[in-house]
Chain A
């Protein structure tokens, strides 16, 4: 089963450089570990939500707006895709994501198969 570990934390962009470097080292170590264990399927580190653009369609017309979909304090900062045998394995990887030790959170979502394979 594929799980998306959504990292709800974008403080890394406003941290002092040394703190951010230390955080990135911890992420690199975790990612190396889950590549080695065979769970890794992909990951992404997102630029801050101030760089986001939201696209909708209103009355058949495309509307493009500055900013994230929801104006909340908690924004998606990145994600890791992992293949796990069950939710417990996904939770144990989520529990090793460095951002949860600095006030962030990780939302674990099972990924449904897409209707077409590309």
Chain B
């Protein structure tokens, strides 16, 4: 099956059928296989409609014929690899994946990323035209490029999750629908590429984060920090599932970056209280991550872990070596360490720097609250 449009339309219709049927009768035992066989039937319908108009009966025959004896349902996987092809711009990859694989409406995607609807629609049209004209293949890449291409797919999935988990703009901190879509995509990757370890690491990572989702904001939508969250309300089933996946993701070398991040998230998720968090281990894992994936954001996280493990001053010294222009979490992290050290005037100045850079409203309100507490304590001296 080489026709991306047909595959997309068919999968879309299969998802719609699934929504109707699964809501009434519950999901089938093998949901992915169900979707694929339904999509295949829908595709035949689509092509039948088309072929009646265009007289292209050969195409229909090619679709209807069983393609190969592959034991796993490959159609959705092919679609993901097409949508996340590096020849497409990253923002087009994300939009196309959400539209064609997850079945989100164009206006839902536009709202989720705060892009004007015509811009997003045009982005999708251009991407689809390029797939067709430049003939971006509709297939799972061969072994020689699979690692690189799988990396691109996982980056899109994690980007969708992060946008859902910590929305860059707007009023709500969390967009649960995007988190759910990302987890569903990662489950699909794990199910369809059972020999690959990193998709398991990615899924585990997102499950650990998602297990805490309900406790990250209070009833008014204000941010509740990790150390103040009600751990009894964390989703134990998700943490258990994440732990089992993480164990498989860590089996074998080399250890992938998602598996390391999942291991860090697991140490947070499994600590019975904030005080029992294994900070030395977390700091060490950030060191491992920095070796695989050197990045100032990783160093920022490592500095915070070092502050908690070896002393606030050491963490602060590490933070002061970092350059992350425009990134509000660097001054926010400095502010927090200075606050814990009781250096209130410096903390207030750092909170103000962070406030000048933050774009999410819930995070802004949190920083304003902390600034007010700091300066309030200051004037109370």
Contact across chains for B87 and A91 when beta carbons are under 8 A apart: yes
- The complex places the Cα of A110 from the Cα of B132 at a distance, in Å, of 10
Which residues in B have their C-beta under 8 angstroms from that of A86? Answer: 135-137
Chief secondary structure at chain B's binding surface: loop
* Chain A, interface residues (CB within 8 Å), range: 10 to 19
Give how many A-B residue pairs fall within 8 Å (CB-CB): 24
Of all chain B residues, the one with the shortest Cβ separation from A109 is B134
Given A85-B135, A92-B145, 15 extra CB contacts under 8 A: A86-B135, A86-B136, A86-B137, A87-B87, A87-B135, A87-B137, A88-B136, A88-B137, A88-B141, A88-B145, A108-B134, A109-B134, A110-B133, A110-B134, A110-B135
* A88: B residues at CB distance < 8 A: 136-137, 141, 145
Secondary structure of the A side of the interface? mixed
Residues in A with CB closer than 8 Å to B135 are: 1, 85-87, 110
Q: Nearest 6 A-B pairs (CB), nearest first?
A: A86-B137, A86-B135, A110-B134, A1-B135, A87-B134, A87-B136
Interface string of A88-118 (1 = CB under 8 A from B): 1001100000000000000011101000000
A-B contact pairs, 13 of them (CB 8 A): A85-B135, A86-B135, A87-B87, A87-B135, A87-B137, A88-B136, A88-B141, A88-B145, A92-B145, A108-B134, A110-B133, A110-B134, A112-B133
Q: Interface size on B (CB < 8 Å)?
A: 9
- With a cutoff of 8 Å between Cβ atoms, the chain A residues found around residue B136 in the complex are 86-88
CA separation between A110 and B131, bound complex, in Å? 11
For the complex formed, measure the closest distance between the CB of A20 and the CB atoms of chain B, giving whole angstroms: 31
* Distance in angstroms between the alpha carbons of A110 and B141 in the assembled complex: 20
B132: nearest chain-A partner, CB-CB? A110
